[in-house]
Each structure stands twice: as structure tokens, then as C-alpha cells.
Amino acid sequence: MIDLDIDMRQYDCPFIDTTDDVDIAFSAIQWQLDTNDEKLETRLIAKGESMGVLEKGLHELQEHRNMTECYILSKRDNIAEIGTKIEVTNAMRTIQQNGGYITGPFQIEDGRERWHVGFDEDDDEDRALAELERHNEYTVEDRDQFGPTMLFDLLENSDSAMDLLEGCRSLTPTERETFEVASRNGYYETPRGTTLDDLAEHFEISKTAVSMNLRRSERKILQAALTALEQLNGTEER
């Protein structure tokens, strides 16, 4: 299987048009393409910069010419779960007609959309990308090719991957930034490329505060990694 990570800008997509005009983002959690009716039905999480921005974004989405249905399932503060049905866009039709299929959730923000698309053959991929270029703007951000053994391994160990992901998500913004800056600047290399004193100066806080932020982030990530290893060992022993 060929798996593509595509940064896409469609010119007939109501979600992209809405995020162009309003500071709102959409993340798909469920989708179903009806090829006979040429409709895409989705469940999404919509997040606005504020409650007012969310309301404005949802209103614009509902009024879009390519939107068939748009209804709110739940809403709290500046986040809503919505259901939609839209006309199949040119890009969707192109992917489907050339043997492509969706392999992961898509996210839309700032007028662009992140797609995860799969193909079984190189020729299908080449033909689809060539046709996409005629009516859309896109960049292939990443391309992977998996054989059946690797695919089985990915599916078998999906719980381990989720544990690692949740561990990363559990970091606060401060912990995440501190850990990323320290890693990029060689704090974990031998010899170290940066020190606690350097990091304290970078963040304009005390050396003790930097150390605490690093320790908290390290503890969370290590715990997630250990949990993932336990899951991995369990699948290997079956």
C-alpha cells in the first residue's frame, strides 16, 4: 500500500472556504463517501477562537453553496461536534475514480486541508496526482509504502502507538516547548550541546524552573513509552 500525506487546497470545499474567512478549525472523526449519490457524510469537531467565532464559522458553513446538510450534535464553549453532508468535491472524485481511498482523518485549518490517502499501485497514484493538479493546489508532505507484513505490524500494535500519542498530548504547552527546545539544541546528546543554564537564559526563568519542566515532560513521555513497551511485549508473546 502507498500512503500519502497531502497538504491540500481545494477550490470547491465548504470547510476550506470557511476556514479562509473565519478563525475556525475542523477535524474529522467519522466519514462515509456515497459514490452513487456523490455525497460525503462526516462527523467533525469544530473549534473556534472563541464562542462568537465558532458561531460565525458554523453559520458560514451552513450557508455554503456546496453544503447539503450541517447540524450541531453537541456544543460547549468554543467547541462543537457537528454532522455534515456535502457535494463530492473535484479532489474527492479524482481520488476515488483513480483507485484511491482515505486512510486517516483529515484536518482543515487556515484555508488548507491535511489528507491521508492510499493507493495500491504506483500508476494509480501518478494518474490521480496529475489530475488533482489541474483543479487543486497540493503538496505531498510525506510518502510511505507498506508491505503486508508492515501493515499487519502497524495494526497489531496500534494500542502501543496510541499510548505514545496520549503521552505526548499530556504535556502542557510549557513542558512541550521546554522539551522540544532542549532536544533540538542537544541537551540529550553526549557531550551536551546545551545546558540548564543556557535553557534558563533562553526561557528567561530560573535554572530550577527549567529543570522541573524538563523532569515533568520526561516523566510523562517515559511512562507512555513504558506502557507502549508493555503492550508491544504482550502482542509479541501471543
pLDDT value of residue 63: 93
The low-confidence residues of the chain, meaning pLDDT below 70, are 146-161, 231-238
pTM over 0.85: no
CATH of domain 153-236: 1.10.10.10
Cα 118 from chain centroid? 16
Q: Where along the chain do its domains lie?
A: 2-145, 153-236
**196 to each of 178, 200, 201, 218, how far by Cα in Å?**
11, 6, 9, 15
Kindly state the greatest CA–CA separation across the chain. 63
Which H/E stretch holds residue 74? Answer: strand 67-76
Cα 104 from chain centroid? 9
pLDDT value of residue 146: 60
pLDDT tens column, 190-234: 999 999 999 999 999 999 999 999 999 999 888 888 887 776 666
Placement of cell 451552513 in the chain: 62
The answer to whether the beta carbons of residues 44 and 86 sit under 8 Å apart is: no
User: Which of 128, 2, 14 has the alpha carbon at shortest distance from 63?
Assistant: 14
Cα 1 from chain centroid? 20
Contacts of residue 73, defined as CB under 8 A and 6 or more positions apart, other chains included, come to 43, 80, 81, 82, 83
